Amino acid sequence: MTKLTNTIIASAFLSTAMWLVPAFAADPGTANAGNGESMRDAGSGDYKPGRAKPIAPPKLTEDEASRAAPLADEDAAVKSYGIVGRSADGKEIKIEANEALKELIIEELNKPADGGADASGPQNTGDPGLTEGEAGRQVFGTDDREQVKNTKTYPFSAIGYLEAKSPKTGKFGSCSATLIGPRTVLTAAHCLYSHEDGAWLDEYLFVPGLNGSTADDAPFGAFTYESAYVLQGFIDNYQGFYGSVVPWDLGIVTLKQDVGTNLGWLGYANYEDLGDFTANIVGYPGDKPMGTMWKASCEVHAENIGTDYFQYDCDTFPGSSGSSVYAYDNAAKQRVITGVNVAESPDANTAVRLHAANIEWINSLYK
């Protein structure tokens, strides 16, 4: 049986749990299809199409990857899992890693090397809900991405366009992001904090199900943020190159309004023995018509899965940063996020893996 270290501890139990909890309970890690009611009149954000330029994914060279190993010092590793954030009114937030996180990190540091992942993982053959054909692989070979034309249906209603403004330049950038709870949005840290500016971005705006280049193409409206968070290691461990912080490139945006109860959210989990699986990536690549949602899928092989991140040839492009990488777990009958798309290299694209410590960090911010 595939082991999960989450609030849901096994695929079989996860499947059963769908019938044991209230239909729209905010249970961290569990997917929710929403109630299907429109959020259009609840939008509070000032969305202006065309003002943002897609944020380019950082490039991860082979040399950088070799220097991106997790910290061996316990104190430094624990500190890296602190919460650093900012609220919409500009207040800085700093919270130390909780006790559960400390125990996980220390346990992980003391584990003997096992030579990599085994062949187990989510038992899946792709997402049966994506019937238009999700096949694919910055773009490798033939571009196999397909446009999602009906973004009002789940799971696409839970996936959105994320904007942020640079206080240094005054310019907006865009990424992709995913609802994982009523008010919780998962994305990449580099979509929230700029090492180039040495500062937080601001005015984060989440537009779920965006489907075109006009304000009328935002079927549910646009939503402003209450607070944004990154792992402390993403800021503290930066050494002038992206590879020094790739293991900590995760970000959370807490929205002011409950969006997920209506639109739904995706599940997320740590598969301890993550092996071969079919990855699905849905987001807003900047080489496609502005504001349109695109999907791709590809196989992720065990030999390309590390402790902190994994690599694949799913097609992405600037603007795809922050997209969830999810598998459809046949046993659970849920879409389960296993990583977040963060970087590119000449040979593959890269996702930060949702291992046990990352799951606990996300759960500590879940709303």
Q: What is the CATH number of the domain that holds 164?
A: 2.40.10.10
Cβ–Cβ under 8 Å, residues 329 and 129? no
What is each CA distance from 342 to 49, 58, 97, 136, 226, in whole angstroms? 24, 7, 23, 17, 23
- Whether residue 227 lies inside any domain: the answer is yes
Whether residue 324 is contained in a domain is answered as yes
Find, among 314, 325, 327, the residue nearest to 146 by Cα: 314
- State phi, psi for 363 to the nearest 5 degrees: -60, -35
pLDDT of residue 289: 87
Residue 318 lies in a domain: yes
Tell me whether residue 98 is in a domain.
Answer: no
Supply the pLDDT for residue 72: 65
Sequential DSSP letters for 120-138: -----SS-TT-TT------
Separation between Cα atoms, residue 40 and residue 350, nearest integer Å = 34
In a domain? residue 85: no
pLDDT at residue number 357: 95
Residue 141: inside a domain, yes or no? yes
Task: List the one residue out of 337, 322, 104 whose CA is nearest residue 230.
Answer: 322
pLDDT of amino acid 65: 52
The pLDDT score that the predictor gives to residue 121 is 56
Q: What is the pLDDT of residue 43?
A: 72
Q: Please state the domain count of the chain.
A: 1
Residue 217's domain spans which residues?
A: 11-18+29-34+49-65+119-365
Helix H segments across the chain?
11-20, 62-66, 74-80, 99-109, 232-236, 260-263, 356-365
Decide if 150 is inside a domain: yes
Question: What is the model's pTM?
Answer: 0.85
Residue 215: what pLDDT? 85
Burial of 24 (C-beta count, 10 Å sphere; 0-12/13-18/19+) = middle
- Which stretches in the chain have pLDDT values below 50? 1-25, 115-119, 130-141
Is residue 78 situated within a structural domain? no
The verdict on whether omega for the bond into residue 155 sits within 30 degrees of 0, i.e. cis, is yes
